[in-house]
Structure 1
Amino acid sequence: MVKVKASHILVKTESEAKQLMKQLSDGDDFAKLATLYSQCPSGKSGGDLGYFGKGQMVKPFEDAAFKAKAGEVVGPVKTQFGWHVIKVTDVKN
């Protein structure tokens, strides 16, 4: 079973998520931004969600995470919780 290790930053608006994507492309540190801006409790640990398999996350989040390669940042991704910026840190087959 394929598992993905990912971190995320959860914000309320698409514009916030797009701004975070810009900051990341400019070289800002993902964990630092997650600590500062994420509205998820995982923000305290740099947004780290650990490893998860299919069926463990909401569908839009899961789809984006499983399409990404290790080291890739994707987003903004909209779910019922808000807007996510997702960084996949590892993929286990």
Structure 2
Amino acid sequence: MSTAIVRHILVKDIAQAEALKQKLKNGADFAKLAKQHSICNSANRGGELGEVKKGQLVPVIDKLVFSAPEKVLQGPVKSKFGYHLLEVKFRMGSLR
């Protein structure tokens, strides 16, 4: 079973997601931005989702988590919850 350590920021608006992505690219602290802006319950943990199993997240995010390169900022990605910026910190287990 594949698992991954993931962190993300969830916002309702694409423009806000793009602005936060630019701040992150310019060196802003991911955890600090997540605490300030994310509407997910993970915000109080700096956006940390912790260890997630394949199939545990909404399909569009799950697919990204288990295919995107590690330690590379992804997004904004739209789901039914809003717009996600996410980073796979580490992946374990078989990927295919």
Query: What is the rounded CA distance, in whole Å, between the counterparts of 2:88 and 2:29 in structure 1?
Result: 14
Q: Which structure 2 segments of 5+ residues have no match?
A: none
Moved more, 61-70 or 2-11: 61-70
Residue 77 of structure 1: aligned partner: 77
Please, which runs of 5 or more residues in structure 1 have no aligned partner? Answer: none
Cα distance in 2 for residues equivalent to 1:24 and 1:67: 21
Distance in 2, Cα, partners of 1:17 & 1:64: 17
- Which SS does the other structure have where 2:57 is aligned? coil
Counterparts of 1:63 and 1:17, CA distance in 2:
20
Measure, in 2, the Cα distance between the counterparts of 1:54 and 1:2.
Answer: 6
Q: TM-score, normalised by structure 2?
A: 0.92
What does 1:1-93 correspond to in 2, within 5 Å? Answer: 1-93=1-93
* More displaced 10-residue stretch of structure 1: 81-90 or 61-70: 61-70
- Write the deviation string for residues 54-86 of structure 1: whole angstroms up to 9, x where unpaired: 110001111111122221110001111110000
CA distance in 2 between partners of 1:92 and 1:72 (Å)? 16
Provide the C-alpha distance between the structure 1 equivalents of 2:79 and 2:59, rounded to a whole number of angstroms: 8
RMSD: 0.9
Conservation of the 8 A alpha-carbon contact between 1:76 and 1:84: yes
Rounded Cα–Cα distance in structure 1 between residues aligned with 2:2 and 2:90: 11
Q: Please identify runs of 4+ aligned residues in structure 1 that moved more than 3 A.
A: none
